[in-house]
């Protein structure tokens, strides 16, 4: 007994309350104050693994019922609360299963050749995305040294032999420009593309507060230059290197794509080619000037205090120069921008403004998809929603690669 209530009954009620609280947080996560750094991870995890959590809650509840939890009124209250919580948790999971990915404008073309489908077993067991056996890994490659610091990248290559040079894609990790690693993010996408003949690179870069802007983007550009200079070692076409990234990586990948060969951002290697063939940013930050106050107070604080180490109001020009929204030109490469509607760290309006500006100015196509129910960092977990997005990204890049090969009269596979 606990406070006069049978222990199984008390535990069942507690389980039900936890389920309801988690479900409510996943629908309406906090976006202000320190609590957001706890609220968002819980919302992200529960949203993308809704089916897994639902099964877990049901199994634990069944064990408690078997142990006699329904022997009291408290137990019955717990059962009703648990049922409500599981129903609320399941809703986004069902929505993810039934809602297609809509790309605007519609992606042209279709896959012509047989391709590797993303392993559906990864949906059941997401950690398998980190241990794919159908690709080759070359890890811990140093692409630049700064004193005693070694900046590294990991390469993921197809195991299946392909004729000719392969297309390449580079992933830039997120983490608010202060945390994160090449080992953590972009792996479902990079693995999927590598299994389909691409060569993928996950890169690290210097992080704040130790590093001050523009060190971050300079490192990303060094990585692009390194990959292009070592194209023969990786069997890639140096003329086709695409770039992607999420969150801070979405910002850095977009800025790199829009500032190819900008000497101000590549000191010491001004003459090296840092252009890219395409960019696929996920839930990125595109405007540090933020006149419309779209960014959350937490993001603004990190950018000013830890990344730039100066206030925007005192000198806005460096913030403008670091904003992809303000670096768009007619010569921008093709873009495919992706954002979740339910993103609680970087609102979807950030992406909408960026896409509108790209479509107004750029001569190249700009595609955009909003994911109903999608939370920040959704693509780190190979859920049903993620797999559909990866297929769309693959098609976008595949069309561009085929156009590149046709123009240069090269075989694709």
List, for residues 213-238, the tens digit of each pLDDT value.
Answer: 999 999 999 999 999 999 999 999 99
At 71, is the pLDDT very low, low, confident or very high (cuts 50, 70, 90)? confident
Q: In the beta sheet, which residues pair with residue 244?
A: 171, 280
Please indicate, yes or no, whether residues 60 and 163 belong to a single structural domain of this protein.
Answer: no
- pLDDT exceeds cutoff 70 at 413: no
State percent of the chain over pLDDT 70.
96
Same domain, 91 and 174: no
Does residue 239 lie in a domain region? yes
Q: Mark whether 383 and 349 lie in a shared domain.
A: yes
Average pLDDT, integer, range 127-136: 90
Rg (CA), the chain: 23
Task: State the residue range of the domain holding 354.
Answer: 121-408
State the average pLDDT over residues 3-32.
Answer: 84
Are residues 353 and 276 part of one domain? yes
Mean pLDDT of 48-75: 92
Q: Are residues 89 and 208 in the same domain?
A: no
Distance CA 401, CA 237 (A): 10
**Residue 413 counted as domain residue:** no
Number of domains in the chain: 2
Checking if the pLDDT of 362 tops 60, the result is yes
Cα end-to-end span (Å), the chain: 68
Co-location of 93 and 138 in the same domain = no
Give yes or no: residues 134 and 213 share one domain. yes
| 34 or 153, greater pLDDT | 153
Question: Which residue numbers are catalytic?
Answer: 247, 343, 376
Question: Distance (Å, rounded) from C-alpha 337 to C-alpha 275?
Answer: 18
Confidence of residue 3 (pLDDT cuts 50, 70, 90): very low
Pair of tokens at residue 201 = 């690179």
Average pLDDT rounded to a whole number, residues 271-299: 92
54 within domain boundaries? yes
- For 384, the token pair is 């049903």
Most confident of 20-29, 164-173, 367-376: 164-173
Check whether residue 94 and residue 242 sit in a common domain. Answer: no
Q: State the CATH number of the domain containing residue 197.
A: 3.40.50.1820
Same domain, 144 and 91: no
In a domain, 106, yes or no: no
Against a cut of 0.85, is the pTM above it? yes
Query: How does pLDDT run across 184-206, given as a tens digit for each residue?
Result: 899 999 999 999 999 999 999 99
Does 109 reside within a domain? Answer: no
Q: What is the pLDDT of residue 203?
A: 98
Question: Does residue 111 lie in a domain region?
Answer: no
Boundary-marking domain end, from 98, 132, 158: 98
Give residue 393's pLDDT.
96
Same domain, 170 and 84: no
- What pLDDT, on a 0 to 100 scale, did the predictor assign at position 161? 83
d(CA 352, CA 318): 23
Same domain, 90 and 230: no
Does 104 fall in a domain?
A: no
Position 5 confidence tier, pLDDT thresholds 50, 70, 90: low
- Is residue 366 predicted with pLDDT exceeding 60? yes
CB 15 within 8 A of CB 80: no
Decide if pLDDT at 131 tops 50. yes
205 with 157, same domain?
yes
Average pLDDT over residues 357-380: 94
Q: Is residue 108 part of a domain?
A: no
The span from the CA of 299 to the CA of 110, in Å, is 38
- Mean pLDDT (the chain, rounded): 92
């Amino acid at each position: 007994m606990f406070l006069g209530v049978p222990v199984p009954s008390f535990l069942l009620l507690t389980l039900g309350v936890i389920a309801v609280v988690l479900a409510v947080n996943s629908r309406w996560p906090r976006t202000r104050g320190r609590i957001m750094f706890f609220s968002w991870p819980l919302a992200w995890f529960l949203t993308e693994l809704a089916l897994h959590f639902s099964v877990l809650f049901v199994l634990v509840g069944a064990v408690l019922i078997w142990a006699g939890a329904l022997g009291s009124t408290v137990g019955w209250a717990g059962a009703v609360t648990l049922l409500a919580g599981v129903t609320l948790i399941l809703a986004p999971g069902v929505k993810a299963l039934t809602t297609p990915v809509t790309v605007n404008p519609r992606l042209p073309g279709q896959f012509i050749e047989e391709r590797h489908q993303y392993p559906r077993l990864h949906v059941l067991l997401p950690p398998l995305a980190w241990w794919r056996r159908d690709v080759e890994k070359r890890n811990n490659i140093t692409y630049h040294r700064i004193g005693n610091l070694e900046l590294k990248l990991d390469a993921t290559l197809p195991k299946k032999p392909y004729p000719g040079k392969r297309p390449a894609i580079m992933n830039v990790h997120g983490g608010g420009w202060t945390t994160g690693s090449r080992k953590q993010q972009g792996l479902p996408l990079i693995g999927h593309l590598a299994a389909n003949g691409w060569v993928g690179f996950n890169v690290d870069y210097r992080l704040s507060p130790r590093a001050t802007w523009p060190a971050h983007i300079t490192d990303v550009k060094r990585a692009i230059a390194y990959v292009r200079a070592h194209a023969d070692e990786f069997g890639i076409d140096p003329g086709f290197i695409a770039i992607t990234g999420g969150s801070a990586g979405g910002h850095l990948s977009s800025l790199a794509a829009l500032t190819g060969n900008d000497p101000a951002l590549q000191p010491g290697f001004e003459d090296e080619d840092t252009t890219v063939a395409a960019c696929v940013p996920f839930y990125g930050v595109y405007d540090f000037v933020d006149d419309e106050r779209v960014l959350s107070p937490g993001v603004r604080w990190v950018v000013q205090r830890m990344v730039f180490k100066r206030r925007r109001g005192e000198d806005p020009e460096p913030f403008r120069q670091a904003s992809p929204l303000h670096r768009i030109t007619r010569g921008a490469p093709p873009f495919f921008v992706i954002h979740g509607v339910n993103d609680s760290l970087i609102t979807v309006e950030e992406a909408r403004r960026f896409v509108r500006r790209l479509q107004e100015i750029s001569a190249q196509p700009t595609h955009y998809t909003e994911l109903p129910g999608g939370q920040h960092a959704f693509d780190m977990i190979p859920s049903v929603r993620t797999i559909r997005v990866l297929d769309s990204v693959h098609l976008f890049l595949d069309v561009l690669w085929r156009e590149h090969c046709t123009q240069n009269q090269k075989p694709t596979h």
